[in-house]
Structure 1
């Protein structure tokens, strides 16, 4: 082989090697981009719950002009002596500890993209055999966010025991409030609120549990809220995956939801069966929002992405049910363990065990 040919081959090989290294770099960078937000939301600054709010803040809010103000949770904004605080689940407010002034806040009304989607609504409805005169009632739409906890109780990972978190979810230099709101063990909501946009930009009901063991009924579990034999016990859970999945520059959220219904009393298998599951893609594309009639809202809006495509994203990134958010408990003596309700063997679903 001629010397010139060897030089050409070597040059081609080195170029391919550089391209390969660049491709590996790009792949690593893409993986990092896809996981940064997932890590961010698990490491947000935590606020105070009602019993832990500093006495100086409590006293100042009590004696404030137009007060007294009583917070269920509070969190300081970047060591500024200004606090976001939550009044039950009705509104988010701001309080300036230095001046003693309360800044009127924003009501927490349910996020429209969640409660108007027929697929999502169907997952959270009572079963088709449910009997009730108020047939228009919907547990997702007709109830506001709630914040009701039994002191000392441990359920759903105790996330609602500290309702307010604060930090930069997307690494865009804009910080958000992340709220965990719930009503005992019955239902739990994850809400992301943007102080800059002054609105909810994403919400997900990550748990709805309406079941109780009722010997003698047709099913092993019936609904706790309406204890009739034909009201089948229901458990619905959702996991969120944060990052960039579709290859563009805009942040994404993938939501994987599962609905379980009680097995019949005659069934030899105990517990529940998977009734339905869905995958949904949300994206915050400010460029598209700027060109829309509503303008820029900063919300994560539902996208017309096929479920098979979304499942492919999760598979390619080795994202299983247990890697979704939320997954780990914050309950005392159980920190870091899997939230038992969302990973219960009685669900009879192999997905929740991996």
Structure 2
């Protein structure tokens, strides 16, 4: 994620929260955190009103922006020229901020059932260039066609049958790609694996993070996830009662396209371990396996490249 996008969102959130008492916001954050930790489908919308919506935006939008930006960075090389994006259940529009950063000319539509979330999303983008529409939408209603359809941090709020209905709607609307992102927890990874199976069963091909179409080789108690650094604002630290100026948002995701050749490159599954004269990489490989690769200084150019790669990057498996 670019520092500019992070600062623009931070400024917009601070402006939205100006003059709002911190007590009710902090109480709402505590309630929302408790609700998300409980997990499971919600019988009613988790965001019950304007205070919940603002609290959610203040404590979650920076992390969601960072995670979605990382997801797009890890897959956008396979998705040049995206012109239209629809974000299903996009709330206040964090994924839309990431999409705007990645494809500046794209027309973006955020669909959600919570009117207050859509209203805050419009307010946060009031001074931003480009076109982002926030539209009231309920499950089962038509989804406008788009090059890319994103499903961002939504599946955890739905029952298993409703998850499949939402993914079917995303597949029907998407012309070039579907992207699903969930928290980087074991349960979040399981939801992503289920979404991956729906996408593959529909005849689509996974392009990220997996370099293959086989079963996930990462086995419990481990799980496939990635990390994005989030710089905390003063308000963010206050509401989350955090002391550090940053946090690391863990996320799991899958991006699929209707057709296209495989990447041919492995995916780095953990922070590269750098020691004197060598770099150790944990890789998911195009042959459907996951294993360790050690790159030594004797390998010259490969070693120099290994010193610069990050968790989530691709790696030539040749």
Q: Please report the TM-score for the alignment, with normalisation by the length of structure 1.
A: 0.24
Bigger proportion of residues as helix: 2
